[in-house]
Amino acid sequence: MANNPVQIVLNAQNYVQRAEIVPGGSNKDFFAGRDSDFKQHKDALAQSLDTLIPSKLTESPLVFAHVELQETAWAKSHRPVNQVFPKSKIRSTPGNALGTLIVELAPSDIKTIREKIISAENETRWEKDPKSEKLVPKPSRLRSEVGAIKEIRLYSDHDRRKFSIEQAVQWLSDPRTGGAYYVETFIPTDSLEDSKSKRASEENALLEDLMRGIGKLELPIEISRLKSEWTKNQIFIAQLKEPYRSQIDAHKRLINFIDSHPIVRAILLPPVLQSSNTNQEETSLKTFPSISQERAYPIVGIIDTGVSAINHLAPWQAGATDFIDPAFQDTSHGTFIAGLIAGGKHLNPSTELDEADCKFYDLGLHPTYDYESYYPRGFFDFLEQLDAEIVTAAQQGVRVFNMSLSVTLPVEDSSYSLFANILDQIADRHDVIFVLPSGNLDGATAREAWPDDEDQCLKLLAEYRHQGKDRIFQPADSVRSITVGALDPASKEGALKPSRYTRRGPGPSLGAKPDVAHIGGKLEPDHGLYSLTPRGGVSSNCGTSFAAPLVAKSLATLDHLIEGKVPREALSALLIHNSKVPDWMTSKKLSRIAKDFVGAGIPSQAARSLEIDDNQITLVFNGILKPSHELVFDFTWPACLVKNGACTGKVKVTTVYSPAIDRNFGAEFILTNIDTWLRQEVIDKKTGEVSFKGRLKTEADKSIEKERIAHGAKWWPVKTFETTFPRGVGESSQWRLVLEPLNRNGFTLPEEGVPFSTVMTISDPKGNGRVFDEVRQQLQASGVEISDIRTALSNRLRQEN
C-alpha cells in the first residue's frame, strides 16, 4: 500500500562541492599513418580558402564561412578554435547542424588561416606509450585541428533558407502570418552599442548596407525589429504590403537580395497557429462536478480561443482576460479543453483520466476571426501579448499554462526555433511552466492503424509516405516546457497505442521530445474522448490539443499538493519520473521508437506520484550547480536488497535542469550538460584503493560524441535512466550519486549557476523488502536532512521567516 511520502533532501546543496578538474584528452591525429592523405587534405582546405570570397563580395569587410568537422571530432576538445580559428582573434559559433561551425572572417584572416593550415606537419609523429610500450601518434595541436576539419566553404543561401519563393508566396497569403519574413542576422544585439570595436563597426556597416539595399528595391516594405531582450542576434521583420504581397516577382526581388547578403544568417517564414475544431454532434450533459467553496483547487491557465460562459464551467473559472472580443470568437476549442480540466474524469470514466478536478484561468488570446487586426506582425505580437497577460494570471496563483496551439512549422534538426526560445524566456521571467501539444497530422498525412505484429509496426513506419514531415510542430521543441503526444483510449484488450495523428520526435539536435503522452482521442467518428461544447452539451474530439491539458492538470495538481514554492525543475522531474511507457511499446523492438511518440509515457495521478510503498523509497534533490562544482551524494544500499555482498533491486533516476540557452550557438544551443551517474564502491583487493564504478548503463556509453548525443541525451536537459539488478552487482553496499556539469566550448557557466532537480527511486521488484524504512533511517543517522516533500518546503519557509 502506498502510504509513505516521497522524501526531499532538504540540505542537498550541502553535497554540492568543488569538482576536481580532469585534464582534457591529448591531441588526436585524425590522419595517423596516412600522411599522403593528410597532405591532400591540407591542399584541399587551402583551395577552399582561396575561393571563399566570390568576386561580388570583395568589398565586404566580413565573410562568414561554414566549417564542417569530421564525425569523430565533435567533442569540444577537438574543436579547431585554438590554432586554426583562435578564439582570441576570430569569432566563431556552432553552426546550423551538429558538428559544424560558423566563423566570421575579415579578408586578412583568410590569408593567415591558409598559411597556418599549410604549415601543419605532414608526417605523423610517433612516440612510445610508457604504459603499453606501443607507438602512438602525438600530433601537434595544429595538425590535430587541421585534421578535425572536413570542409570549409562560404555560408550560402542554402544555409539561410529552407523554403522556395513559390512556397513563401502561398504561405504569406494567410493573413495570420502578417505577410512577413523574419530575417535573422549574424550581428549580436550588443554590437549596436559598441562604438569602439573595429569588428562591431564592420558588422554595423554591413547591417546598414542591408537596410539600404532593401530600400533600393523600391518595394512597399515595412521594417520592424524584434525586441532585443528576446534574442542575442539582431532579427528584423520585413512585411510586404498589398498589392505586392501576392506578386511573386516582388518576393523574388526581396528574397534574392537578402539571400545574397553576407550578414544574413537565416530567413524564416512566420508561423500559423493550429487548433482543431470540435465535433459538433453533441449529446446532453448528464452530470458535471460542482465546486466546493470550502477547499482550494489547483489552477491551470488555458491559452486558447477562450472558454464559453456556460453554467457548468462558470464556477470553475478563476479569472479571465478580455483581450479578444467574444462576439466574434469561436470558443469551441477552448471550451472543450476547459471541460477536460474541470471535469475530465467525470466525462470520461477511465483510469487514465483519474486526476483531480482543477479550476482554470481563461487566457483567450487566440482569435478565430480577424487575426491580423489583433496581431499585425503575426506570432511575435501574440507572444508579446501573452507575456503581458501572464502577469495577472500568475498573481492569481497560476503556474502551469496549457497552450494547445501549435505553430504549423515542424522543428528543424539543425536549430532551436525562435518561438520556443521566446516561450522559454517568458517561462523564466514569470517562473511558470507551459504544457504544449506535439501537433497533429491531418487526415491526408495520418499514419495507418498500428498492426498487432511488431515487425509489421516497424514496416508501417518505414513505408510511411511522408517521411520527415511528421515531426513535432514548433514551439514544442521548448526545453523549459512539457511537450505531450497523444494516445488512443485503451482498446478492448486494454492496450494504449500512439494515436495515428500524433506527431513524433525527436526535437532539434536529437533532443528527446515529446516528454510524455496522454489520451487524445481516436481518429475515428467516435473519438472516445468527451468534453463540453459552447452550448453546454457533450461531444467527442481528438488531437494532441486535448492530450496536453490532461498533463497540465497533473502538473498543476503536483504543484498544489506540495506546500511552499517548489522549483519548476522538480515539478517536471516528478512528472516525468512517475510516467510509464504503455506496455504495448515496451517490447525490445518497439521500445526503440517509443520515446519519439510517447516520451517517458503517461503520467501517474499526481497524488500517487507523491506516495510510495514500503518496498521503495524516492528521494528528491533540488539545488544549483555553480561554476566548477558538482553534486556528490554518498549513501548505503538498503540491507534488504544486499544478497551475499552483491546489491539487487531496481533503481530509476531522473534529472531535469535549466541550462543557459543561446540560439546563436545553432545546433548546440544548450550550453551546459549535466551528466547523472550512479556509482558503486569498488575496492582493489591488491592495493586497497577505493574507487566508484558506474552502474547506470545506457546506449550512451559510447566513445563517439555523436552516439552520446543520439542515444544518451547528452546536452539535453532531461535525463531518465532505469535499470534492474536481478542477480546482484558488485561487492559493496556503498553507493554514490553524482551530477557533473560540462560547458560548451567558449561558454562559461554564469555565477548564478544552473538549477537542477534529481529524483531517485530504489525499490524491491519482488515487493518484499522494507526499503523505505531502511534507507530513511540510514540517511538520518548520517546527517542527511530529509522530510515529506508535501510539507517540508512550507515548514522550511516558516522556520526561515
pLDDT score at 796: 53
pLDDT exceeding 70 applies to what percent of the chain?
93
Higher pLDDT, 392 or 746: 392
Q: Which of 48-52, 128-132, 187-191, 617-621 has the lowest mean pLDDT?
A: 187-191
| Pair 381, 361: CB distance under 8 Å | no
Place of cell 501539444: 437
CB atoms within 10 A of CB 671: 21
pTM confidence score: 0.90
How many other C-beta atoms can be found within 10 angstroms of the C-beta atom of residue 672? 21
H/E element holding 426?
Answer: helix 418-430
Q: Where are the alpha helices (DSSP H) in 696-788?
A: 705-712, 771-781
The count of other CB atoms within 10 Å of the CB of residue 536 is 17
Which pLDDT score is estimated for 504? 94
Question: pLDDT of 597-628, one tens digit each?
Answer: 999 999 999 999 999 999 999 999 999 999 88
**pLDDT tens per residue across span 114-130:** 999 999 999 999 998 88
What topology does CATH give the domain 4-19+613-800? Jelly Rolls (2.60.120)
Average pLDDT, the chain: 89
Pairing state of beta strands 4-5 and 538-540?
A: unpaired
Percentage of residues in the chain having pLDDT higher than 90: 63
- CB distance 497 to 491 below 8 Å: yes
Residue 195 has pLDDT above 80, yes or no: no
The arithmetic mean of pLDDT across residues 108-113, rounded, is 91
Q: How many CA atoms lie within 13 A of 676 on its CB side?
A: 23
Provide CATH 3.30.70.260 ranges for the chain: 164-268
Which residue carries 603499453 as its cell?
Answer: 132
- Asked whether the beta carbons of 124 and 33 are under 8 A apart, the reply is yes
Residue 537 dihedral angles phi and psi, to the nearest 5°: -95, -170
How does residue 798 score in pLDDT terms, banded at 50, 70 and 90? very low
Residue 92 reports pLDDT greater than 50: yes
Identify the pLDDT of residue 192. 59
CB 564 within 8 A of CB 797: yes
pLDDT of residue 326: 82
User: For the segment 245-275, what is each residue's pLDDT rounded down to a tens digit?
Assistant: 889 999 999 999 999 898 999 998 887 776 6
Single-letter residue type at 72 = T
Q: How confident is the model at residue 416, as a pLDDT?
A: 85
Least confident of 62-71, 189-198, 566-575, 779-788: 189-198
Partners of 611 in beta bridges: 5
Residues of the chain with CATH 3.40.50.200: 299-563
Query: What is 299-563's CATH number?
Result: 3.40.50.200
pLDDT digits (tens, 9 = 90+) for 289-340: 999 988 999 999 999 999 999 999 999 999 999 999 887 789 999 999 999 9
Region(s) of the chain under CATH 2.60.120.380? 4-19+613-800
60-69, 154-163, 194-203: which has the minimum mean pLDDT? Answer: 194-203
The residues with which 315 forms a beta bridge, in sequence order, are none
Length of the chain in terms of residues written: 801
- Type of residue numbered 564: G
Cα 252 to Cα 75, 240, 255, 359: the distances in Å are 40, 12, 5, 50
pLDDT at 23 over 70: no
Among 50-54, 167-171, 790-794, which stretch is predicted with the lowest mean pLDDT? 50-54
CATH class for the domain made up of 164-268 = alpha beta
Cell digits of residue 64: 562568414
